[in-house]
Amino acid sequence: MHPLTHDEIRFFKREGYLVKRGVLDPELMARARERKWAGAPPRMKRDDPATWFGPFRPDEEHGEEAENCCIGFTWKFREPAREAWMVAMLATNPVIFGWAEQLLGRGEVEPPERIRGIYCRLPMGDQPPQPTVCHCDVTPDRLHETPLEKLLAPGLGVVGLIDDVPPSGGAFTVWPGTHRIIHDLLLNTEGLARNEAYKKRIIEFNADPRVEGHGAAGDILFWHRLLAHTAGWNRSPRIQLRESVLSDYSKRDATPAEPGQSLDDMWQRWSHEVHSLPRD
């Protein structure tokens, strides 16, 4: 596949995310779907969609720290996260890794040794609607004590669909442009005031327009690590499991942030390719 275009990099720089279609290997996606079912609760039958509805029952639940996390309608299957074929499907896929290097700097990206896992949203059926609440990947419970250079460390996330996900199917959801707001918030607040400002912004974001990802198996979405995001709720009329794989990229030996630096200054630290584009 071709490198990212200047227009695609501009879009990522401005909006904080980027979608690319038909990237993942079909055979590895099929293997990932098979692998996922090895971790399913016994009552969930692959050939019987009527057994897929959530929430997980109390006897099926495992906490957030579990390798096979099952909570409510959320399933995070982390057991295969370090398996070489799984990492090769997404994190070290040469095409995807090359795009990550365009955004973070050629030769400056740490090759991931694992992915986050296979993530699913169970169908909600006739369950009442639940609010869609976003977050950012910046350890919000410890913002007041986390060094600024760690909070602003360059990084990307990537999510790949391993099966078709229709609209309202519970796919990855993003709030465009919020990475800029979070960047400035982190830069201009300290201590407990940073925590309070973050919580206030998240409440405001939840009332703002969002973009729900959906598409065909093989599609991927990059997101800036400061972008507000969440997993959507699976309310599609078509009974299916929202299935995706997630991974992260970080930059080697990142230059620490300095007081007063804008997000455009940050792009200069991240990548010469990105910085060479006209500022928006």
Q: Quick: pLDDT tens for 212-263.
A: 989 999 999 999 999 999 999 999 988 887 889 999 999 886 555 555 556 5
pLDDT of 114 > 60? The answer is yes
Percentage of the chain surpassing pLDDT 90? 80
Reported as a single tens digit per residue, the pLDDT across 49-72 is 999 999 999 999 999 999 999 999
Q: What is the pLDDT of residue 257?
A: 53
Query: 49 with 253: CB under 8 angstroms?
Result: no
| Token output for 148 | 């600024």
Q: What is the pLDDT of residue 272?
A: 45
Query: 32 with 118: CB under 8 angstroms?
Result: yes
Q: In the predicted model, what is the mean pLDDT of residues 197-212?
A: 95
Which contiguous run of DSSP H or E holds residue 180?
Answer: helix 178-188
Q: What is the pLDDT of residue 262?
A: 60
Q: In the predicted model, what is the mean pLDDT of residues 143-151?
A: 89
Q: How far apart are CA 108 and CA 123, in angstroms?
A: 40
Q: What is the pLDDT of residue 5?
A: 97
pTM score of the predicted model = 0.90
pLDDT of 91 > 90? The answer is yes
pLDDT of 273 > 90? The answer is no
Query: 179 with 227: CB under 8 angstroms?
Result: yes
Q: In the predicted model, what is the mean pLDDT of residues 105-132?
A: 94
Q: What is the pLDDT of residue 275?
A: 42
Q: What is the pLDDT of residue 149?
A: 87
User: Any idea which of 46-60, 160-174, 257-271 has the lowest mean pLDDT?
Assistant: 257-271
Taking alpha carbons only, the member of 245, 261, 174 closest to residue 211 is 174
Query: 216 with 21: CB under 8 angstroms?
Result: yes
